[in-house]
A and B are shown apart, each in its own frame.
Chain A
Amino acid sequence: MTKKQLFDSLVRGEQQHTTPFSPILMHFAARHIGKTYGAFASDHNVLVEANIKAMEDFDMDMVSLISDPYREASAFGAEIEFRDEEVPRCLTQVIKKAEEIEKLVIPDVYTSKRTLDRIQGAEAYSRILKGKVPVIGWIEGPLAEACNLMGITEMLMHLMMDEQSSEMLLDKCLEMGKSFAKAQIDAGCHIIGMGDAVCSQIDSVTYDRFVRERHTEIIQHIHDLGGLVKLHVCGNITHLLPSLKGINADIVDIDWQVDLDNARKKLGPGTILCGNINPVVIQDKSAEEVYALSKDLVEKQKGQRYILSGGCEVTVNTPAENLLAMRKASR
């Protein structure tokens, strides 16, 4: 059975002999092949090579195109600075005044360098892996993207002060997300990860008012294109779980602050939960301790739709033995 066939059986809810293992790797993966984070984020060849090597060495069950949050922002006109061992920096606030929202043009994902680079990454995975491993593409969720364009403080206050232009900006970010998701599915991605981390910082009323319908729409769009969706909202989303139930995400990342059993209860048996060991714990504890924590999660989630992972990105300084311990625990 290929990893893709195993994943398909997980989606169908069939009995798994091995719990799938799919941690989020970025800086770690780059370092693993002796490359910088800057190279990983700016060159799909490095990103793909790093992820495939990590998949092979740690027997991971999926590969991903996640890198940094600024691919779409770059396409919208933001200047991005790459640094060797840091997350890329967004140097430009694309939207400085509300009046600029109306004029904001949704860019072509095939002509912007950074969005095209991710699409080319998807094509490279398809060529190399020949559909045998699930490939996760990546887009920014509408609120995250709006915050990338306007600044997080400014956007969160704008939501409270000017609903109309907030809606307009969110709609443009939604359309951008849909277009970018389609391009990645066309290039061979099976799953689209949607990162909307800032949602953990808003209340459920604001989420329901501004984001929920847009999440539902983009997920439906991806489903219509034949893809699945992995929603990534790191941080504590306990208060959002009832709202997330109806948006139909196939996989929901659960960060370490959230009780996994509660998430299961709220999201139901049909959702694949992915998580949720604290990345600091994975980094700092011994391999034996990481194994024990992972084993405990795996045992508790046995028979359910579940992927073992960290709550969020595995850090660059995590010992390789600790990732191997997680893999071992999931068998």
Chain B
Amino acid sequence: MDELLENIATCIEFGKINTGSPFPPDMRGKKGADEYTREALDAGINPHTVLTRGLMVGMDKVGKKFRENKVFVPQVLMSAKAMNTAMEHLMPFFYSGDISAKGTFIIGTVFGDLHDIGKNLVAMMLKGNGWNVIDLGMDVATDTFLKTLEGHPGAVVGLSALLTTTMANMHQIVERIKEKKPQTIVAIGGAPVTQDFCDKIGADIYSPDPQGLLEDLDNKLFAR
């Protein structure tokens, strides 16, 4: 069992999707997260164990490497792709209730901002960390965040902006969310965003990297 879980974690850490995937070159022709996850479930390993000791371990490692500039966006995207492929096998267990998500995270780039790479990375890593992610995409209006929040009480909201100009739009969204649903945790991120700005606009979490967000979320929820 341990070996299979380790293999899943390794494949996700290094972005190995399946046997046919040419990446990474030194794992060419070998099995990937896809096959190992299927094998683990077929071997009777509990789906929750596959998630927490396989997928999440792999994503945690890549998240830390990303934070330390040991890997960059392309490698993280490949890890996320491997994770998503493995997750496909686990989805039925989410639906049946055998695995429960950590919570729901509503994410989008703020209105006016069409840069989604950071948002995509965060969304992928949240999924790999056991969150149910509702990705609203790019250029998301304040009302869309609020409407989605109505349908998912208790969800965390994540706002992303790459531009200094669109970063200012976060303020309005945070204000409206806090006015309508004061208990909502709002996380913000993006190249120009800082902790100072986060404090200034009344958001709850700022992290310069996805891994920090995951850790902050665990801390915030644990503290509740």
Contact = CB atoms under 8 A, between A and B. Distances in A.
A315 B21 CA distance: 43
A1 interface: no
Interface residues of A, number: 26
B112 interface: yes
B192 A279 contact: yes
B91 interface: no
B134 to A, nearest CB: 18
Contact of B72 (A90, A157, A203): A203
B72 A206 contact: yes
B196 to A, nearest CB: 9
Contact of A157 (B69, B74, B116): B74
B85 interface: no
Contact of B191 (A159, A161, A235, A283): A235
A152 B194 CA distance: 24
A239 interface: yes
Contacts of A317: 165, 168
Interface string B64-87: 000001011111011001000000
B194 A202 contact: no
B22 A161 contact: yes
B165 A280 contact: no
B112 to A, nearest CB: 6
Contact of A153 (B117, B165, B191): B117
Interface string A130-174: 000000000000000000000011001101111000000000000
A86 interface: yes
B23 A279 contact: no
A201 interface: yes
A89 B114 contact: yes
Given A160-B78, A161-B21, A283 B73 contact: no
A124 interface: no
B17 to A, nearest CB: 9
B164 A280 contact: yes
A90 B167 CA distance: 20
Contacts of B81: 157
B165 A203 contact: no
B73 A201 contact: yes
Best-buried of A86, A159, A279, A316 by chain B (most CB within 10 Å): A86
A315 B78 contact: no
A90 B139 CA distance: 13
Given A89-B114, A160-B23, A202-B72, A153 B164 contact: no
Interface in A73-106: 86-87, 89-90
A27 interface: yes
A27 B165 contact: yes
Interface string B107-139: 000001010110010000000000000000000
B15 interface: yes
Nearest to B23: A160
Contacts of A235: 191
Contacts of B120: 153
A156 B15 contact: no
B163 interface: yes
Nearest to A256: B192
B192 A201 contact: no
Best-buried of B15, B69, B72, B163 by chain A (most CB within 10 Å): B72
Contacts of B72: 201-203, 206
Interface in B131-181: 163-165, 167-168
Given A156-B77, A160-B78, A239 B114 contact: no
A203 B22 CA distance: 19
Contacts of A152: 116-117
Contacts of B71: 203
Contacts of A162: 22
A140 B155 CA distance: 40
Contacts of B22: 161-162
A157 B77 contact: yes
Contact of A203 (B15, B75, B77, B164): B75
Contact of B192 (A156, A239, A280): A280
Contacts of A153: 77, 116-117, 120
A157 B84 CA distance: 14
Contact of A239 (B69, B112, B194, B197): B69
Interface in B177-224: 191-192, 194, 197
Leading 3 A-B pairs by shortest Cβ distance = A201-B73, A203-B72, A156-B74
13 contacts: A87-B163, A89-B114, A156-B74, A157-B77, A160-B77, A161-B22, A203-B72, A203-B75, A280-B167, A280-B192, A280-B197, A315-B164, A317-B168
Interface of A: 27, 86-87, 89-90, 152-153, 156-157, 159-162, 201-203, 206, 235, 239, 279-280, 283, 313, 315-317
Given A157-B77, A161-B21, A317-B165, 14 more contacts: A86-B112, A156-B73, A157-B81, A160-B77, A160-B78, A161-B22, A201-B73, A201-B117, A202-B72, A279-B192, A280-B194, A280-B197, A315-B164, A315-B165
